[in-house]
Chains A and B, each alone.
Chain A
Amino acid sequence: MKEITFTLNDETVRVTEDPLKRLLDVLREDLGMTGVKEGCGEGECGACSILLDGKLVNACMVPLGVVEGREVVTPEGLRETEKGKTLIEAFADTGAVQCGFCTPGMVMAAEALLEENADPSEEEIRQALSGNLCRCTGYDLIIKGVRAAAERGKELW
């Protein structure tokens, strides 16, 4: 057990836990961030995508100890921002959401992409989402959703 301090969605949090515990479990169980989903627990599906210091990572592959002093953003944080809202609205309007289990992770991946590249091509979007699996959509409408967000959010990214 160890006390770990980090920034979660712009607020400082302290948790006393085994530093080897998966960040995914700490977020979901200790901190109630159930927007972070577990699809595989082995780093393959991206359902547990979060931003760690602005970089896209799989929370199931990160031990809690690693985030000491760093900044974590989950879907709960992103959805409160203009960028997050733009992405969510664009996904909803293009039909990018089906069962929705992959979607919070997809939105995180899209945010990470748009931070790097505000005007991505279809190919660049496909590459950026390639670590996030979706079994429902075949990806086409998710790609459209990301394009729509980029167009609507010209001022944001």
Chain B
Amino acid sequence: MSKQISKAVRRVDAVDKASGRARYIADHDFGELLYARILRSERPRAVITGISKPEFPEGYYYIDARDIPEGGKNRIRIIKEDWPVFAEGEVRYIGETIALVVGPDREKVLELLSQITVTYEDREPATTIEEGLACKGGPIVGEDNLFGAYTLIKGDPDAAFKRAARVVEGTYRTGFQEHLYMETQGMVGTWEDGKLTLYASAQCPFYIRKSVAGVLGVEEAEIRVRQVTTGGAFGGKEHFPDVIATPLAVAVNKIHKPVQLIFDRDEDIPFTCKRHPSRITIRTALDARGNILGMDIDTVINAGGYESSSLIVLQRAILHGLGVYNIPSARVRGRAVATNTFPSDAFRGFGAPQGLYAIEVHMSQVARALGEQPAAFKRRYFIRKGDMTVTNATMKDNVILEEMFKAVDEMSGYTEKARAYENDPLRGIGIAFVNHGCGFTGNGEQEIIKSVVRMKRTGPHQAALYVSNVEMGQGLQTVLRKIAAKELGLDYTDIAYDNPDTDIVPDSGPTVASRSTMVVGYLIQECAKKLKDRWDEGIGVEAEQHYRHPEGLTWDQETFQGDAYPSYGWGINVIEVALDLVTYEVRTTGIWSAFDVGVPIDETIMAGQVSGGIIQAVGYAALEKCEVRDGMFYQRTMADYTIPTAVDFPEVKNVFLENPYPYGPSGARGAGELVFDAAAPAYVDAIQSLTGRNVYDLPVTPETIMGVLKR
């Protein structure tokens, strides 16, 4: 790595965490605490006909919608205000919050909870995408059960299909994925100096503040949210904390004492949001020589009982629908369907992994149908700078996928192995190419987020930075310090950056969408330049920087036309597998990757993102099964829901190719989600290479492989 900024430094939080000194939400001492437990719906779809409660002893509370103060509202402000804090009359999924039971003794709280009986009048639930689309049991929302639908059109897809000599079609399904952050969801609400204060393991302190203020009917500034050291999130602590903060705030607002709400693992797996299941059908029109004329893509995601951020997830899924390819004509349709499962929400990638999985596996299948090697076929369609995207804007990035392919091919021996394994029934190798739009879609950064960052000189050689973005494991507290230090000519350890507190920091937006390094980091870089100019004014001098959209980008939020993202990160994964004929177990024998993240800010932190993202994604592809039976997640413990261990996959061998982005700090682009996107399709492509058969659905368990081989 040539750039100074890429040289690894020791993370600022490493020693505290490794030694056990770092304090997570369950490790703080709040003095006398009350404990809260959620009374949850046991039915996927029903009308509540009665709730019978035991006598509550002094000091124990049953908190529900009636405790919301006047002027407040029993709805959580996420995107839309559809999700109730406490179920009112009807329940739409198993696990929906009905009430909180709060009190000083945990055992007693559990005992009271077990003595409450809710009676229901059941309705017929719809739990799968198909049942949702068919409005089984009658629509849950609107007339058609859709939270929303979009269509993108590029070129003339109808003409392409009319001219087609051949059409290749496939339907690809992906399942729920549980985040399984090692620290479960947790929050403590307190009443401090007349102000409701929430201490949260969370990604977005200002999201929590907004939703709590709406529920209590107060100004946002009357609520204080303080992020505490967070033990992993991956999107699972983006909106879901709003779902626990709001009932907790209602309780604290009533009781005026500290209340703790921390999930046990056997609550966290069955009763939190997961990655959206998807069903994507792709049809490709080919001419007589096997050239792609056009594509038709139909994307449906299972949103669950309430909308949450599902429409934004859906947008990202279809905006990534064509992957890294310049397809002359395309129609990409997307629908988010309501069902009676736990509402799906953000998970690293936010819809892109589903869209990219489908297009990558499909492109490999088209290649195989034409008797071509997948990589050779796919490379012919790589999008280049100046080509049209699916939203009819030109690609602005300088795309270096060809150089990246050369690098990863050299490391992995892909081309040769792909040829050699064609006739080897025990080995396979797969490849996937992806890009990931950085930051909010379209003009969201400009119109919705409007980030502000602040910096201050705090000593002779010290400065502090104030942002609302959080450290959740990804290394942000080190990365943003490095960016600031570089401009100020200081050491990164001379920059202070505390866990954000909404009473202190400006709103620089949520810690999501691969935006924190690229978007917020750039603001920090520019802010540091301003502070440097004013440095001699003395200790205490401050500087502020507001977001400005890069020049030359257009976006129409009504029609979804224009530059969907200011820039993309780019990636390639190669995965090699071998089959044990006795057990039918597939071992992964090699994982290689090449990424263009602009310029990596710290090569070790980025290497950690690469390994972590890829292993989380091969888990999604090969291990992590999450089924719904009778409206309930069937896998409810860590023993049932298995994620990769240290022995399941080999070391990831990675190379970064530098390709600076002018509006990123030191040329950096977003990377946190990109590293997740390619491994699942690469793994499935490897299974296709191994078996010589098409594979469509995730996860690909040993039973799936056995089934494929028997076909």
Residues of A at under 8 Å CB distance from B? Answer: 28, 34-42, 44-45, 47, 74-76, 79, 84, 87-89, 91-104, 107, 122, 125-127, 129-143
Contacts and interface: CB of A to CB of B under 8 A. Distances in A.
Instruction: Count chain A CB atoms within 10 A of each CB in B14, B473, B612, B613 and give the residue with the most.
Output: B14
B651 A100 contact: no
B638 A42 contact: yes
Contact of B10 (A34, A36, A74, A92): A92
Given A99-B473, A138-B612, 6 more contacts: A34-B20, A92-B11, A92-B18, A99-B472, A127-B647, A135-B612
A99 B181 contact: yes
A141 B20 contact: no
Nearest to A106: B18
Contact of A95 (B605, B616, B651): B605
Given A44-B638, A97-B17, A37 B24 contact: yes
A95 B24 contact: no
Contact of B616 (A45, A75, A138): A138
Interface in B285-312: none
B429 interface: no
A100 B473 contact: yes
B15 A92 contact: yes
A45 B646 contact: no
27 contacts: A34-B26, A34-B27, A37-B183, A38-B26, A39-B183, A42-B639, A88-B15, A92-B11, A93-B10, A95-B11, A95-B14, A95-B607, A97-B18, A99-B233, A99-B473, A100-B16, A101-B231, A104-B19, A127-B647, A132-B646, A136-B182, A138-B613, A138-B614, A138-B644, A139-B644, A140-B607, A143-B651
B228 to A, nearest CB: 12
Nearest to B471: A99
A142 B17 CA distance: 13
Contact of A135 (B18, B21, B474, B616): B616
B182 A75 contact: no
Instruction: Count chain B CB atoms within 10 A of each CB in A36, A74, A92 and give the residue with the most.
Output: A92
B229 A100 contact: yes
Given A97-B14, A97-B18, A136-B608, A126 B231 contact: no
Instruction: Count chain B CB atoms within 10 A of each CB in A36, A92, A136 and give the residue with the most.
Output: A136
Interface in B112-145: none
Contact of B19 (A38, A39, A75): A75
Contacts of B430: none
B608 A99 contact: no
A5 to B, nearest CB: 24
B20 A74 contact: yes
Contact of B230 (A35, A42, A91, A99): A99
Nearest to A89: B15
B20 A98 contact: no
B648 to A, nearest CB: 9
Contacts, number: 176
A136 B18 CA distance: 14
A128 to B, nearest CB: 8
Interface in B257-280: 264-266
A104 B20 CA distance: 5
Contact of B20 (A35, A39, A140): A35
A37 B652 CA distance: 28
Contacts of B2: none
Contact of A130 (B18, B181, B646, B651): B646
Contacts of B17: 97, 99-100, 103-104
Contacts of B233: 99
B20 A99 contact: no
Interface in B640-677: 643-647, 649, 651-652
Nearest to B23: A34
A78 B26 CA distance: 21
B83 interface: no
Contacts of A131: 645
Contact of A102 (B14, B182, B265): B182
A131 to B, nearest CB: 8
Nearest to B475: A98
B99 to A, nearest CB: 24
A141 B604 contact: yes
Nearest to A123: B647
Given A101-B182, A127-B647, A139 B615 contact: yes
A76 B21 CA distance: 8
Contacts of A96: 14, 18
A95 B473 CA distance: 11
A95 B231 contact: no
A34 to B, nearest CB: 4
B178 to A, nearest CB: 10
B604 A94 contact: yes
Contacts of B20: 34-36, 74-76, 79, 104
B612 A136 contact: yes
Interface string B588-614: 000000000000000011011011111
A130 B607 CA distance: 21
Contacts of A95: 8, 11, 14, 604-605, 607-608
